[in-house]
Amino acid sequence: MLQSRTMCATAVLLGATLVTAAVPAVAAPEAAPAAATVCPTGWGSTDKAVTAATSTSVRDVRTGRHDCYDRMVVDVPGAARADLGYSVRYVDRLQQDGSGRHIPVFGGAILEVRVNAPAYAPGTGEATYPARAGRALPGVDLTGYRTFRDARFAGSFEGDTQLGLGVRGRLPFRVQQLDGRLVIDVAHNWTGAAAR
C-alpha cells in the first residue's frame, strides 16, 4: 500500500512538471518610462532686488541640491517676508563693503548676495552667524553640486550681510522672500532640461 502511494505521488509530481513545462512563460510587463522632469525657465540672470529692512539678524546659511537647480537659503528667523530686503546680482569681483577689500570667490561667475539684515545682534554687536570675512561659509559643503562652486562670507556692514556665491557660469537665478528666510536658486542650465 505504501509503495503504491509513493508511485502515485511520483506520477503526480512528474505530471505537474510536464504541465509546468508546457505552459509558455509570460513576460513581465515593462515599467513605464519615468516622466521627464521639466525645469522652470525664464528666471534670467539680471539683477534682482527688493528694498526693505528687518530688525532681526542672519542666523545661518545653508545649501541644497535639486533636480533643476542648486539652492542657497539665508535664515533670518523672525523676519516677515515683506521686511526681508535683498540684492542679488552677478559681479566681476566681490568687493567687501566698507573696506573695498577683494574677496576671492571661485567659479566661472560670481553672484553677490546682499541681505538687508546684519549677521550680528544690533544692540550688542555680538555675532549671530559664526562666519569670518573672506572664508568659506561655515557648515556649507558644495561637493557634488552641479552649479555651485564656492560660497564665501564677505562681511556684515551697516545692517547688511554680504555673501559671494561662485557658480559654474552665468546661469539664470531666482530669489524668493519667505517668512524667516531668503531663498536663492541657480539653475543648472538655460534650457530647462533636468540632469539625467
pLDDT digits (tens, 9 = 90+) for 64-114: 999 999 999 999 999 999 999 999 999 999 999 888 899 999 999 999 999
In three-state secondary structure terms, 109 is: strand
- The residue ranking higher by pLDDT, 139 or 6, is 139
Given a cut of 90, whether residue 142 has pLDDT beyond it is: yes
Mean pLDDT for 30-41 is 67
In three-state secondary structure terms, 99 is: coil
- The residue ranking higher by pLDDT, 46 or 33, is 46
Report whether 192 contacts 40 (CB < 8 A): yes
Domains of the chain in start order, with CATH, are 48-187 (2.60.40.3500)
Mean pLDDT for 156-161 is 92
Given a cut of 60, whether residue 10 has pLDDT beyond it is: no
Report whether 109 contacts 94 (CB < 8 A): no
Task: Tell me the average pLDDT of the chain.
Answer: 85
Mean pLDDT for 128-155 is 96
Mean pLDDT for 111-130 is 94
pTM, rounded to two decimals: 0.79
Neighbouring CB atoms inside 10 A of 12's CB total 10
User: How confident is the model at residue 30, as a pLDDT?
Assistant: 59
Given a cut of 50, whether residue 12 has pLDDT beyond it is: no
In three-state secondary structure terms, 18 is: helix
- The residue ranking higher by pLDDT, 167 or 159, is 167
C-alpha 111/C-alpha 139 separation (Å) is 19
Mean pLDDT for 40-56 is 90
User: How confident is the model at residue 34, as a pLDDT?
Assistant: 55
Q: Out of 172-176, 183-187, 190-194, pick the least confident.
A: 190-194
Given a cut of 70, whether residue 11 has pLDDT beyond it is: no
Report phi then psi at 54, rounded to 5.
Answer: -120, 160
